[in-house]
Structure 1
């Protein structure tokens, strides 16, 4: 069953969700030729059972069922701007079969004028009277059509011969890799420029691969159909689309027919209609005009919202009672919640079965207070089971387990946070169940001795941008401010596509934003090498202590060096020394073998240094740090590492148990002490 979620913005600042369900395929998309729906994607062309045939295979297309108005010819109103954001995959056949033609984003005035076979990515192979516009991702090399190679992006206007082509190989993109590829296309009519970004991750690349001046008012008719086309020609590939978002923006258009009423919504074409696919970069395109049906549904929506809030509150109350009273097997189980995003209380028997009795061979991670197992739960799939040490349970009930459960059960939802699936506090076992991350921790991948080419510079940059986004969410966007206190590469997990997710909230501190109460000094918690100097000396965590830890992670990711190496050299001190000698680029990880832009690498290192500035007031916020990583201006750094005097509330020797070798004065220059990082 597909769930459609429409987002509408009223003229007053209220954000409304409209839910509707359908057991059938989407009614606003039309499939043509070999195209068909699956549970997770739209398949445009299928791999052929045999590749010995010399005939052309069918073409597949998917088009929005209704034409979209791009301008009003009668009133000469401004041509609308538009953006499209989609993810596709091209799976090549095994040798000796050849690949298909490729896939194209298509805007056409008359779908019936397009060919139904003969390849050419489903586009006309000769000039046509009915205009069309396409961004093609071509995987076949046909010199007669002006192709530059079999891995290029082309812009087609009324002809299969591209008016502009870009070699994607030089941008690190291989169309026939079988990997998910995400594309962003934007046209702003005021500039009359079309821009295209292409990347493997879901985060938008910093630089576009194409900036082409074009006036679509000279190409388009008033109404055009939007969709995708693909063909195999004499080859055999699976061309599939997993996600689509198409937006138009023009405040001058006044809805007067059904088609335009559809166009007034934030997402004209959205498959599947999933809010997690939206990103802030495309937010400027959202059309904020009223939908006439909003008020009719408002009261029903308020009722649904209230019900969800009450249900979530009951879960949190139950969890708090469970943590304080130590759950026992005879307590009622909470499987009645069907919403998959609400963590569930699980039975210990089910967890034991999924982990094969906590089989040591299933261990995928181990810390001071817990062991993590890979497991497979029925109806859920692969998960990571975090089992807390029995020897530490007494203290953990009021600390790490309780903190992590209470923090995560509050339904923190962000694409760069590891999501809690369930929990168990039964008998003498304390267990948290998280989503499974196929590539494990960043620490293991980064410092792995083999397969050093896995973490390219672009992947490292995307990982850091993802972690910064998660910390912005915790610091600024949650209802209650959350300070993580243990940001390090061990707690950054990587999914199958190397997208980063921050985890382990066992040391997190949660604060009400409305209170003005001064934060109390505590014994510093975390990992030495990642701790901000003022936190070590004062014991007071702030958002800037998380920024410092993030800065250490940035330097670690850029250099491939641990925060404290085997010889006791502190990474931050070494970086400041290189900066003072004006050879900061020498810190770049040799495993990258120079495969990076020196300006981008130096920027990354400078962002790390500004984040670990000894003076916490000079450090940026996480939002500013993320902006710098994406290409924003980095503030000027001092010529050498500053010396900052910090007053100690709790003496370092008392906090760290390192003996009394520190100065007797409550004022001293911060020193770094070492302990095992992960």
Structure 2
């Protein structure tokens, strides 16, 4: 054995001994968390405040007041719980800021006959030794010196207009001040902070994007959409070491602010060591394992910037030593292997996020860019937004998407949030419209996209149906392949699968060289690739592009996008709209020509025969195949593109158009949810357990 190997094993042995010695320590909450003010431990949880009994009589307190502490004069009304060790948020050697992710379960329990307390907050502060135990303000620090800073996610249950509160039941983001710079009405999103029920919150900040996201749910399963999304550069507020924990206050009211479980993780210092998609799990600062009989609140060791979660071992002596050595060797081997094989890809992903992170613009900048949202600058209008052409000196020509104003004063409207979350998460592809920036001020919700001079496909294709075509056959084929590339990316290549739900000609934009870029993600749905269930929604979109099973059952899948893509293909090949002014349906017309053996008569007459007949036949056949009434007969978008390029044989189609018998297109593991029964090829709609009651169409 070489001397270098021996040198590695010597510290490794002492390292194992140190861990085993730590494992013998008792698993007590006090090992993890330091309490301040009114905070106290109760049943392996933390109560941040002392709940007061407001009964004026000698009546017996209810069960809700069982955890209440005495209403003695010693109560300050403010409590905090901070993780016992400071955590590194800034690498002083490289000046690299950390990203972080946290998950915790909490409940706010009211006191009988008392008004609610102020609420609670997840807190990151640079000064763990400074506390203002004055009543109110969630126990957050008073105005700090320039050397100190804090970031808080508040769960506010009181209404204080002087602090800019939108109501008495909201979630907000505070930075160095108790006045939130972004907040959202939680009740409108189905979350009642005053319900007394246990809720789970997820908080994630990714420095590469400069975006913080907050999810809140009534179950341990994270909701598909964040409750609150905001863009801010927190690295300017990070010190090298920060304290992490919770803060709450009762003010003139009373409530128990309970934290039950808590996980936290910083990541980003060593990209290959901590995958981005694994950041949510984090290390257990105070949590209950899956086995309810196991001990709770394990102690976490912090060695440099890495965190090693302690495990309760039922083994002793030599067996424990050998087991620990094997586990640690595996961890070290995996880290080295990941670093060697994955660091280049991680750096490229990091570069992608830095380059594509949307910028925040002020309303004054956007007003100037669009000449005060001048009507002459309008280049597109939809159900929930209007698009303006603008010019920003720092960027150049842009398209500003202005969402419909409402009387609400919370942070973001739903269509805005959905599109921002979908497109802003590093969707980088040559055939997707790129998001440049955003603006949220007052009631204005704005997304700033790259400007595409040739506008939307529908306006170019149907500009003047009686004149000669403005698109050559080569351009049309290139557009179809571009859209196919974009959809393949969304369906198969993204970290999470994205169903667009609104693929149509008006959402396909054309650049200066008539290359296609798919845009408008206002209806998009994001799914984990491993998801086994999908919720039904009220179908939304444009008639003529919607798959029959989606209209009936409201379950969007990649096959519903394939159907819309097929209609777009036929639209480009024929030059006709999906539903013409005389109510004739494009799909029926093309099928009718195929049945008569005259399919090539469907080719756009404005091309005047200037097209490749083999390629035209492929596009018409693939279009019909993608828009097949039975979703099981549709190819994937990737396979459709291969056929269009001549890399695969033409699809086999029946002699006549199949009779539409809509079938659900849930993943196979979910078919038990909507099993129609009977013959799979000929299901009876009468046997369906439910039908979507209504639809929203554009």
TM-score, with length taken from structure 2: 0.47
Question: Which structure: larger Rg?
Answer: 2
Q: Please give the TM-score of this superposition, normalised by the length of structure 1.
A: 0.48
